[in-house]
Amino acid sequence: MIKRRIFIASAAVVGMTAHSQVADMNDAINKAGRQRMLSQRMSKAYLALVQQVEPGAAQQVLDRSVALFDRQLAELKAFAPNPGIRETYGKLEVSWSEFKGTLVGTLPSKEQVPKVIQMDATLLALANQGTQQYEQASGKSVGKLVNIAGRQRMLSQRMAKFYLANALQVDPKGSTAEIAKARSEFLAALETLRNAPEVTSKIKEELALADAQWIFFDQGLQRLEGVRSSPKLMSDVFVSSENLLSVMDRITGLYTNIKV
* Residue 92 maps to a domain: yes
7 inside domain:
no
User: Taking a C-beta distance cutoff of 8 angstroms, is the pair 192, 148 a contact?
Assistant: yes
What is the structure's pLDDT at 259? Answer: 83
CA dist., res. 50 & res. 61, Å (int): 14
Question: Is residue 110 a part of any domain in this protein?
Answer: yes
The answer to whether residue 159 sits within a structural domain is yes
Question: CA–CA distance from 47 to each of 33, 138, 156, 223 (Å)?
Answer: 22, 36, 15, 18
Whether residue 162 is contained in a domain is answered as yes
pLDDT of residue 23: 86
Res 16: pLDDT: 56
- Measured distance CA(30)–CA(152) in Å, rounded: 12
Threshold 0.75, pTM exceeds: yes
Per-residue pLDDT of the chain (260 residues; tens, 9 = 90+): 444 454 454 445 444 555 569 989 999 999 999 999 999 999 999 999 999 999 999 999 999 999 999 999 999 999 999 999 999 999 999 999 999 999 998 899 999 999 999 999 999 999 999 999 999 999 999 999 999 999 999 999 999 999 999 999 999 999 999 999 999 999 999 999 999 999 999 999 999 999 999 999 999 998 876 656 788 999 999 999 999 999 999 999 999 999 87
Q: Is residue 11 part of a domain?
A: no
Domain that holds residue 72: 23-256
Kindly state whether residue 72 falls inside one of the protein's structural domains: yes
Between CA 82 and CA 88 the distance in angstroms is: 10
Q: How many CB atoms lie within 10 A of CB 124?
A: 20
Query: Would you say 236 and 123 are in contact if contact means Cβ atoms under 8 Å apart?
Result: no
CA atoms of 39 and 54, how far apart (whole Å): 19
Residue 232 lies in a domain: yes
Contact status, residue 148 vs residue 30, Cβ threshold 8 Å: no
Q: Domain total for the chain?
A: 1
d(CA 96, CA 92): 6
Q: How far is CA 70 from the centre of its chain?
A: 15
pLDDT for 15 equals 45
Q: Other C-beta atoms within 10 Å of 162: how many?
A: 29
State the pLDDT at residue 227: 57
